[in-house]
Structure 1
Amino acid sequence: MTEVEEVPADTGDYMIKPQSFTPAIDTSQWPLLLKNYDRLNVRTGHYTPISSGHSPLKRPLIDYIRYGVINLDKPSNPSSHEVVAWIKRILRVEKTGHSGTLDPKVTGNLIVCIDRATRLVKSQQGAGKEYVCVARLHSAVPDVAKVARALESLTGAVFQRPPLISAVKRQLRIRTIYQSKLLEYDADRHLVVFWVSCEAGTYIRTMCVHLGLLLGVGGHMQELRRVRSGILGENDNMVTMHDVMDAQWMYDNYKDESYLRRVIMPLEVILTSYKRLVVKDSAVNAICYGAKLMIPGLLRFENDIDVGSEVVLMTTKGEAIAVGIAEMTTSVMATCDHGVVAKIKRVVMDRDTYPRKWGLGPRASMKKKLIADGKLDKHGKPNEKTPVEWSRNVVLPTGGDAMIAGAAAAPEKVDVGAAVVEKVEAENGEVSKRKHKRDESNDSPAPVSTKKAKTKDVDTEEKVKSEKKEKKKKKDKDEDTEEVATPKSEKKKKKSKETGEDESAADKSEKKKKKKSKETDEAASAEKSEKKKKKDKKKKSKDSEDEE
């Protein structure tokens, strides 16, 4: 007897059970641009994934550094440019840039962008900044409330002239101070500690001078630290110069990537505040080459997008492709089936990271075939061998194979018309020749059709060339025969005749010139006499009026 194997009771757990709704995915913990991905509006979920590209956090180390950003705590004495140059040398990269200059003595947040991320430097330089400042007043202010009120009065749009220390043209400018808070006041040492949130390009040194003027005691800046630049602040993975050096040393000596990956962050960190547009994988490379994003390439989009607002174009893996400017609102994207969604402002991703997927449609593939066969030139423009259907942009009829075959088998009317035209031209050949002669006598060019002109030009050029060659040959032969036949005395006679003819022609031309000059002199004298007569008449009329 063979024993029957018992079927486990839990087989029902592996079955797909019917559900009334698709369960929602919790994407609140997903990284960077993929955070809350499920809350985006879905235009279509239908696309073909491509294996190219990488998730920002899992890029190979070389690409990870090239698309990287460092939130650096700038040390006190070197300038911002020096610090950035040091990082470039330590990491051995091609390019580095920073999010806005800090004075040498100022410390704090400095966003350093590496290689491809330097394309985002401009947007970071214009982002808002936050500072903590220590100002020294020149004499004591007993009332703390007075200091707080003076700080509050410095909010809003403020006139500022750059301080003497700065290397900028000292021109009056307007800067907005969004918010300011008094953190601490030391009456004994006359020190004020305050926090400021302001527009990019605000001079805190000038603000401290204004604070002293408002309090009536005078003041200057003692110490300054930048706490936030754009999105990134002190608590967002801020690192020192020592961290950067140690991380590179660890990789060089022990091949340990972990420290470098902690110090450097993907550039997508900077773009998390932008509205997102998710793009199909097949449209990514076209955007990298500068194409606009069209409706068919859009997968998902965010709420509250307005025309003209800045958006970030991203892949389904969470990579930033480019920063763009929206050409449609959210509601239009949801309802429209064609048109431009966004135009490109700055491309971040390298070209050919994803494969090319344009030029694969029926029209484009037919064009490539015609170019290969020589029926179009290398630029895709029509030539003599181009089919009539292509030059007239004939589109195949919609329907099955039978419809297309019927359209192809239909007689072409164009050829019949062309044959009729050729017959008419042959019959009226004599008439056209007569007309051409008349036009030549009238010195007015005869109207010629463009098709005839193209074919005739080639024939006429060849005929002219052959005639010129024959004439040259005849001249050479004639000269040779003359030299043999005529002696020197006859040649001299010919030359004398030619010179005599030239002299007679010169005399005639001089006589003509003299005649013309006489005629012009006579005309000028006649005009002068007429003018004198008119003047005399006017004088006589005036004299008669005076006598009356």
Structure 2
Amino acid sequence: MKLEPNGVLVLDKDSGMTSHDCVFKLRKLFQTKKVGHTGTLDPEVTGVLPICLGRATKLSRFITDEGKRYVAEVTIGTSTMTEDAHGEIVEQKSVAMSEIDAARIDEAMRQLTGTIEQIPPYYSAVKVNGKKLYEYARKGQTVERPRRLVEIHRLERTSELAFEGGVCRFNMAIECGKGTYIRTLAVQIGEKLGYPAHMSELRRTSSGSFDETMAVSLETLQALDTVEERLAYVIPLEDVIKRWPALTIPKNRERYIRNGGKLNDVSLEFELFTVYNEEGIPLAIYKRQEGTTDATVEVMLAID
């Protein structure tokens, strides 16, 4: 009997791979077509990439919307076309120790904490008029990029400043909401200081409730002989949804839920939550409508 993976694999993505590359390899390793990632990581970025398998692919958009944590290195004094260390240099301005100190950098980071506005980099997958920004960039075309508001919950310098070769480097830790471009955040820090800047290294340490202590590398999975051995690294679907609040409904309401019925008078403490029957079987994931106590079904989970 073929084992069907249903759950989340927390992958520790290597540098040099796209998120789609990871999905392609995992389809082969788990012998299933139902594999989906939870938001892309740029090829050179390493770290936590939750991968949904089987029925858990229904959950990918919810995991994608959760907050992220990163550790990064910022280089002040040089900016690039891609806003990271792998693009063509577009501006340079020598940085001296007498011009920038830790206090100035910390103040710049403080100003970028909270709700801030970002313009996505040209080398990104954001779509404008049906085309991705990087498609315009590769053709040398310019287009007005959409501004977006993002949430920066924590932005903290975690190293001393290092001056070498006319640039200043330091490490930082970031906790942010969905849609944040860390590359752009590095550029914005430079702008606050009056210098070109880019993100020279980046690692994602957590995505929602999944962190790097749960992560496994592709190399480790490839070294295993069977799908069954690899399944030991998959967090079961039932355990994944336990991370969200739970609501149990009486037996006489079960058919109503299975048919996607709307819930009223839902507590304001519930935003995204799982509805269970009295036997503890998950029936559906609901979301409370903003500003109301009504909740509508997002995904049906009942196992018939």
Q: Distance in 2 between matches of 1:171 and 1:292?
A: 37
Greater mean deviation of Cα atoms: 259-268 or 214-223: 259-268
3-state SS of the aligned residue for 2:158? strand
Q: Which has the higher helix share?
A: 1
Assess if the C-alpha contact under 8 Å between 1:130 and 1:197 holds in 2: yes
Contact 1:177 1:196 in 2 (8 A): yes
- Helix, strand or coil: the match of 1:206? helix
- Are 1:182 and 2:140 counterparts? no
Structure 2 counterpart of 1:136, from 71, 75, 85: 75
* 2:301 corresponds to: 348
Structure 1 regions of 5+ residues with no counterpart? 1-59, 252-256, 296-303, 333-340, 353-548
Partner of 1:151: 109
The Cα shift of 1:281 comes to 6.8
How far did residue 136 of structure 1 move? 0.7
Letter in 1 for 2:215: M
The match for 1:166 is: 124
Question: Amino acid of the residue matched to residue 233 of structure 1?
Answer: D
Q: Secondary structure at the match of 1:197?
A: strand
Q: Which residue of 2 aligns with 1:243?
A: 220
Task: Pick closer, same or farther for the CA change 1:311–1:208 going to 2, 3 Å.
Answer: same
- Give the CA deviation at 1:310: 2.5
Map 1:495-510 → 2, pairs under 5 A: none
TM-fit CA distance, 1:307:
8.6
- 1:114: Cα distance to partner? 0.8
Higher mean alpha-carbon deviation, 116-125 vs 162-171, is at 162-171
- Cα deviation 1:401-440 (Å, max 9, x = unaligned): xxxxxxxxxxxxxxxxxxxxxxxxxxxxxxxxxxxxxxxx
* Cα distance change, pair 82–293 in 1 and its aligned pair in 2 (3 A): same
In structure 1, the residue matched to 2:43 is 104
Higher relative contact order (CA 8 A, sep 6+): 2
SS at match of 1:207: helix
| CA pair 151-85 structure 1, distance change in 2 beyond 3 A | same
CA change 1:195–1:318 in 2 (3 A) is farther
* Equivalent pair of 2:260/2:300 in contact (CA under 8 Å): no
What is the aligned partner in structure 2 of residue 211 from structure 1?
189
Structure 2, unaligned runs of 5 or more: 78-94, 129-144
Higher share in strand: 2
Aligned to 2:131: none
Cα offset, 1:178, TM superposition: 1.4
User: Structure 1: which 4+ aligned runs deviate by more than 4 Å?
Assistant: 279-286, 315-319
CA change 1:159–1:343 in 2 (3 A) is closer
Sequence identity percentage: 30
Cα deviation, residue 93, structure 1: 1.0
Within a 5 Å distance, the mapping from 1:338-487 to structure 2 comes to 343-350=296-303, 352=304
- Asked if 1:231 corresponds to 2:193, the answer is no
The root-mean-square deviation of aligned C-alpha atoms, in Å, is 2.8
Aligned match of 1:309 = 271
Q: What are the superposed Cα offsets for residues 338-394 of structure 1, whole Å, 9 maximum, x if unpaired?
A: xxx9642211234x2xxxxxxxxxxxxxxxxxxxxxxxxxxxxxxxxxxxxxxxxxx
Three-state SS of the structure 2 residue aligned to 1:292 is coil
Q: Report which stretch shifted further, 277-286 or 139-148.
A: 277-286
Partner of 1:198: 176
- Partner SS for 1:76: coil
TM-score by length of 1: 0.44
Q: CA offsets per residue over residues 194-214 of structure 1, 9 Å max, x none?
A: 011111111111111111111
Secondary structure of the equivalent of 2:69? strand
SS at match of 1:116: helix
Please state how far the C-alpha of 1:280 moved relative to its aligned partner: 5.5
Contact 1:109–1:234 at 8 Å: present in 2 too? yes
